Structure 1
Amino acid sequence: MHVDDEEFESAVHDALAGLPERFLKALDNIVITVADEPDEGQLARGASATGELLGLYEGIPLPRRSWGYAGALPDVITIFKGAHERVCHSREQLIRQIRRTVLHELGHYFGFDDDYLHRHGY
């Protein structure tokens, strides 16, 4: 399933816009980006059991931030377009998976691990 960059980025934006206000207000010092593919370092940090890295959170989760966090570079969530296109077979499936990936990576930002997120459908 292939979509142009603008449509993919729009789906990521829509997933964020659909968050409840209380979660949007809690987003602090974080950047959400889109990349075609992960680089080697990102692949190493975000190894996936499926062989595809759909997204990656890099940073210090909210519950682990302390007084020493002040002045830190922003945390980064990267959503990978190529992997989404390879695992999705329809536009509807792609939109659902992008939303799921965005929510999964935001879950890491809020301090949840993969086991917890997967048990809850993310």
Structure 2
Amino acid sequence: MAVELDEDAFEQLVVDELDALPDDMVDGLENVVFVVEDTPEDGSLDLLGVYEGVAVTERDRYGFGEMPDRIVLYRLGLLDACDDLDQLRDEIHVTLVHEIAHYYGIDDERLHELGWA
């Protein structure tokens, strides 16, 4: 059974989980915005989040005027994947860590090895 939560309450959970992440994980983030959307363009509930940008390890140069990278969390997919509020908090946390790792150039294979995918 999916968790039901309105947009404002969900966004507050995301903010709370961001605040709970270790400083050394978030202090290095530059020009990144965190966004909550209901679903990806295809309407799928399978995708919980995505990093849209160029990983730090792949950038040639990065300077003034660049559009920010985006880390998107998909609210309806996350709600659908969870049975209760505690599970939702955990899943938001894991999704944030997973997408931030992509910003730092860590691929899905390595995330699986580390237990974050």
TM-score by length of 1: 0.85
- DSSP-derived class of the 2:51 partner: strand
Aligned to 1:58: 52
Q: Which residue of 1 aligns with 2:19?
A: 17
Q: What percentage of residue pairs aligned between the two structures are identical?
A: 36
| 1:27 aligned partner | 29
SS of equivalent residue, structure 2 residue 27: helix
Runs of 4+ in 1 over 3 A off after TM superposition: none
Q: Residue 30 of structure 1 contacts residue 74 of structure 1 at CA under 8 Å; is this kept in 2?
A: yes
In the alignment, structure 1 segments of 5+ residues that lack a partner are 44-50
Q: Distance in 2 between matches of 1:66 and 1:18?
A: 31
- Please list every run of 5 or more consecutive structure 2 residues that lacks an aligned counterpart in the other structure: none
How many Å apart are 1:66 and its aligned residue? 2.2
CA shift for structure 1 position 22:
2.3
TM-score by length of 2: 0.88
* Counterpart-to-counterpart distance in 2, 1:35 and 1:21: 25
Spell out, residue by residue over 1:49-105, the C-alpha distance to the aligned partner (whole angstroms, 9 max, x if none).
xx70000101011111222x2232100010001001111111111111011101100
Tell me which residue corresponds to 1:109.
103
The yes-or-no answer on 1:72 pairing with 2:66 is yes
Q: Distance in 1 between matches of 2:21 and 2:89?
A: 15
Aligned residue in 1 for 2:41: 39
Tell me the distance in 2 between the aligned counterparts of 1:115 and 1:19.
22
User: Partners of 1:6 and 1:121 in 2: how far apart?
Assistant: 30
